[in-house]
Structure 1
Amino acid sequence: MSALQVAFAGTPEFAAQALAAILDAGFAVPLVLTQPDRPAGRGMKLTASPVKQLAQARGLAVDQPERLRTPAQRAALQAAAPDVLVVAAYGLLLPPEVLTLPRLGCINIHASLLPRWRGAAPIHRAIQAGDRHSGITIMQMDEGLDTGPILLARSIPILPEDTTGSLHDRLAALGADLVVEALHRLPEGLPATPQPREGVTYAAKISKAEAALDWCRPAAELARAVRAFNPFPGAQGRLGGTTIKIWQAQPADLSGEPGKVLASSPEGIVVACGEGALRLTELQRPGARRMTVREFLAGFPVSVGDRFAIAAD
């Protein structure tokens, strides 16, 4: 058991993997901060975050403040007296009073190679932009938005078939390994390197409005959007008044009027784009599960000449 007292702040599965690794490495975790329980599922039942579920299963103290602005909201963290606070996809901004509370400060696990893709949705935006690499940055936190100095960073390739879901899982595992390495080295004085001023980009939060594909855009761009929006919010198009989710698609060497169906077979529904065409191979109609294009066409016929709606329609 390490003598280092490590408080943890995080909410989703990405963060839960890091917390599990910290515990398995033998670090003492006197307190876990996570978002308040939120309604989820069809019944909108109050549901604990993955981090809270793991913390409770491991017998850890959990606090769920709405904010960390007041002394009362920070009381549990103050009482825990951690040496360091590890933050991973927590969902709350940390005020200066929290950043300076642990003697070794606060460190963040960020799912990009900073300074590229600061912000809320670095995995989505890296795939959407066509980046060839992503990675994990362990950062010493300051008052800016992902602007603190870099303690550790490691790169991995973005594979041609990667979705946000698959890349998320690989980055979560990498982040768990890298934060444990950082914690082992932190008491010795892990060097902190200021972020370069060049190459800064911001990963804006994903909105559901972005899910609608603009068929006037190039097919290569739309193929990346399909992968970036899988599993959330799910790329979609409207055909005959029905909203169809598109889970897998690849560029095709055809052309035509944007939105028009150029081919429809068990190999794919080919839709013309502003440049080239997009072959849709996994789809989902309302109330149904995800289907291969063969299964989809059996219950929802699509013919050559049919047209997906575009923004101007």
Structure 2
Amino acid sequence: MRIVFAGTPDFAAGHLAALLADGSHEVVAVYTQPDRPAGRGKKLQASAVKQLALQHGLPVEQPMSLKDADAQAQLASYHADVMVVVAYGLILPAAVLRIPQFGCVNVHGSLLPRWRGAAPIQRSIWAGDSAAGVAIMQMEAGLDTGPVLLSRELPIAADDTSASLYAKLAELGPQALLQTLADLPKFLSAAKPQDEALVTYAQKLSKAEAELDWQQPATVLERWVRAFNPWPMAWLATAKGVVKVWRAETLASDASEAPGTVLAADKHGIVIQTADQALVITELQPPGKKAMSASEFLNGRSDWFSLGTVLQGTTDE
């Protein structure tokens, strides 16, 4: 088939690389977000998808929008059988969805209808889901509402962060995509509508919601730490400054102290009371420094977590 590929970040580039390596189809054009300023010098940076496309000599389109007639005419000029969309970042109008012969298919990083939206990988860890996966979906005008052509599932490990789960799904997604494209008419004819009763939404992440709330149970906060790693990173406020939390684990406690109380701080970790048990922070990052073990952090910073101190959080200060 003739394929137009639309995507932007590394996750999308992995899918484009798989299509090119497979060689069963012809990628006739690549759509990606316009170059953005990045780095200290704020120089324009091409997306991972654009860089890969240029390496393979593919036509690259970077419209600001696909809503105007000229952009749609340009897309139609490629005479694509299908448009493959992976983390593109632009809304596709209904008119665009009808341009390719077989429409547009999307690779979504969740087991739809669970976790429609922008941050499915992070939300699945945060919620304590036992499994994650990818869904190949026929796109409709709504947000991730289209019928599902194929789903592939994997378990979420007890130590998975968003980064590690992202990497696993980046391997699983291209396999599912190639399987779907190998017999696309068959998958389209057997597509399953999503059960609206099972829909959940994966809202965008924010730095504010990554602040650890000591009124929550320890198991929830441990998932919080893994879900927000590597961005925006779970964090807590101390009298000395804001600290990012990279790794943590739960520990049984008698819950006699108020939530947020520092119970211990030594080479084994910083132990803080939660709503039920304790959270042990084993790796953290002070302002302007790299992530380090609790032992390294406390060497010269022991007063940041004095025994008995109650961490109140920014909303209470």
Output the TM-score relative to the length of structure 2: 0.95
Aligned to 2:17: 20
Listed one character per residue, the Cα deviations across residues 238-288 of structure 1 (whole Å, up to 9, x for unaligned) are 111401000111111123212221010111101111221110011001111
Residues of 1 paired with 2:61 and 2:106: CA distance?
19
8 Å CA contact retained: 2:14, 2:170: yes
Shift of 1:142: 0.8
Residues of 2 paired with 1:284 and 1:105: CA distance?
46
1:217 and 2:220 equivalent? no
- SS of the residue corresponding to residue 69 of structure 2 reads coil
Aligned to 1:305: 308
Q: When the two structures are aligned, how many residues end up with a matched partner?
A: 310
Q: Which amino acid aligns with 1:91?
A: G
8 Å CA contact retained: 1:239, 1:307: no
Shift of 1:189: 5.4
Residues of 2 paired with 1:189 and 1:149: CA distance?
10
Cα root mean square deviation, aligned? 1.3
Aligned to 1:172: 170
- SS of the residue corresponding to residue 39 of structure 1 reads strand
Residues of 1 paired with 2:104 and 2:58: CA distance?
19
Listed one character per residue, the Cα deviations across residues 58-80 of structure 1 (whole Å, up to 9, x for unaligned) are 21111111111001222331221
Q: Which amino acid aligns with 2:251?
A: A
What stretches of structure 2 of length at least 5 have no aligned partner? none
Residues of 2 paired with 1:24 and 1:77: CA distance?
24
Residues of 2 paired with 1:50 and 1:275: CA distance?
44
Q: What pairs with 1:1-313 in structure 2 (closer than 5 Å)?
A: 4-26=1-23, 27-188=25-186, 190=188, 191-254=190-253, 255=255, 256-301=257-302, 302-310=305-313, 311-313=315-317
8 Å CA contact retained: 2:137, 2:149: yes
- Kindly, what percent of the aligned residue pairs are identical? 51
Residues of 1 paired with 2:12 and 2:127: CA distance?
24
8 Å CA contact retained: 1:63, 1:76: no
- SS of the residue corresponding to residue 102 of structure 1 reads coil
Choose 271-280 or 126-135, whichever is displaced more.
Answer: 271-280
Residues of 1 paired with 2:41 and 2:300: CA distance?
28
Q: Which amino acid aligns with 2:81?
A: D
TM superposition outliers: structure 1 runs of 4+ over 6 Å: none
What stretches of structure 1 of length at least 5 have no aligned partner? none
Residues of 2 paired with 1:33 and 1:195: CA distance?
27
